[in-house]
Structure 1
Amino acid sequence: MNAPPYRGRFAPSPTGPLHFGSLLAAIGSFADARAHQGGWLVRIEDLDRNRAVAGADRAILSTLEAFGLDWDETVVYQSQRRALYQAALEQLRESGLSYPCACTRREIAARGLQGPEGPIYPGTCRAGLPPNRSPRSERLRVADMELSVPDAVQGGIVQHLAREVGDLVLRRADGFYAYQLAVVVDDAEQGITQVVRGADLLASTPRQVYLQRCLGLPRPAYAHLPLVLGDDGRKLSKSLAAAPVDPSNPLPALERAWRLLGQTPLAEPPSDVETFWQQAIPSWDPSRVPSGPHRLGSRQTGAADRHAPAPQ
């Protein structure tokens, strides 16, 4: 049986201008798709309207165009796809895989064990709502099992969902559908076969794979690219160093991202964005992408450095 055609995607949240860390993920995703003669889609993850910044989506798309990152098909907005998420939620309800939850964050913090990402939901409402309590959110019943997911860059991740995460939120108390549900539904509906994204989402991958199983959806292949950290060691999007990239002068950022992705330096200095991609796409080698993070403002040793001196 032939494998489906390659379909990748870049899915930014419109919470501000595109910063270098997100650009790195976009470049890696785009290069991998084009090197495999595949499609590359853009999805705006604006499901949480409280965090969306007016006009940020247009600014992000304009920046992608300036860097030569041309997408296929119409840009999709999560805020326009709520019917798909509701249908998935109803499927889980009918299968007995989800349940209403009345617990507040304060109650979960007081009763739950501390996990890698915060308090683990203690299962208070699994057998039914407590007396005189109304549902606030909807949760997924997580099986007592260990789940392993291979990753082309990081080697993979093993997670025991019940012990490390607990029952997942599918619909939040504020009425918004949870990111984990939305991204799984979107990737399946768009036929995504390869997810190339930042390593900050590596820990979320097992719960997304579990949701795919519960919904009977196909699992894409995963590759999580190295994060770019600020000088303070924090993820760039959470750092004061998260300045937007300059779309009026894209070549320096393109060449820097190429080095940080561990790729072989281009044979000729590109004169413009078009000539950069003409050289870059045929030379893309995902096996050279380093797994470790890069600190902004310091020289990092990646896969390319292990083979040849990095250009200064």
Structure 2
Amino acid sequence: MIYPPKPRPGDKVAVLSASAGLPGILPLPFEAGLRALREEFELVPVEFPATRVMGAGARRRADDVNAAFADPSIKAIVASIGGDDQITVTPHLDDAVILANPKPFFGYSDNTNLLVHLWNLGLVAYHGGSVMCQFGRCGGMHPVSADSLRAAMFTSGPYALPQAFSYSDVDLPWDDPASFATAPPEQPCEGWFWHNPGTVVEGRTWGGNLEILSWLLMADRGIQAPAAYDGMVLVIETSEELPSAEEVFRILRNMGERGLLARFPAVLVGRAKAWSLNRRTSPEEKAAYARDQRAAVLKALREYAPAAMAVFDVDLGHTDPQVVIPYGGQVRVDGVARSVTVTY
């Protein structure tokens, strides 16, 4: 795996929508994210043609990705947000162009498609950090997210992931300017939950959003033979669509039946998002949802990877704050010291 060269303050970075063109209909978080890139990160964001076009075709969005990689003045690529159909975009990517011009890519959720594609090309990318969510967060960037993103964007070397003891998964409406005057409400939480600690696992990462992984498995898109994942660390998280515990277990069960789960000696599980604008759960319902999610993952691991070590409630997914995981990069999961260290 190759770590592409990092940008420096003052460099140009591509901002594009390889999934949904939500910047076109929800400009407030997008503009806030562009300001954060310019003012806090001292980068020069460059929008590509389909960035604000909702419903742009797959080939048009792929053209933006190819052009961003091909442009020598662009030093990194940051996804505007996720979506649900990036699986239709990746067949149109120009792998020769990407390999000839490797550069860091940041994104998560539906961008799991691109992360898997780049992994298969041997390029390390970055799971996390979208313009509208982390950079354009209501009330300004979360300090934890900003620190992780800054380290991943500009530096190379080890980075100890922090544990959060308060978080938010409550979304403020993006079409209301008042939402951007205050940060989302946070609630207290416990630190990481460890399953089968006592060992140390070092390996490359693979995984992403669990729902997207299930689609890739169904489409037989970009998934290698099980042996390709031997010794790697599986990273999984779930989205704002709030999949049921039964669905989470079934996806992992199918990965187990395919022979995948047994290949991973360690698993990092993102803190489950348990509230959305379409499903405004009570505190009691949120707690029950999170418990059921953990139980579903543990059930699958007991059946298909009983020796695997797992760390739950790592802030790597759809909750706030969010830490960046180098996708295909090195990670050390130390169950003895109860620490997780990634290499940016």
Report the TM-score when normalising by structure 2: 0.27
Which is higher, the Rg of structure 1 or of structure 2? 1
More strand by share: 2
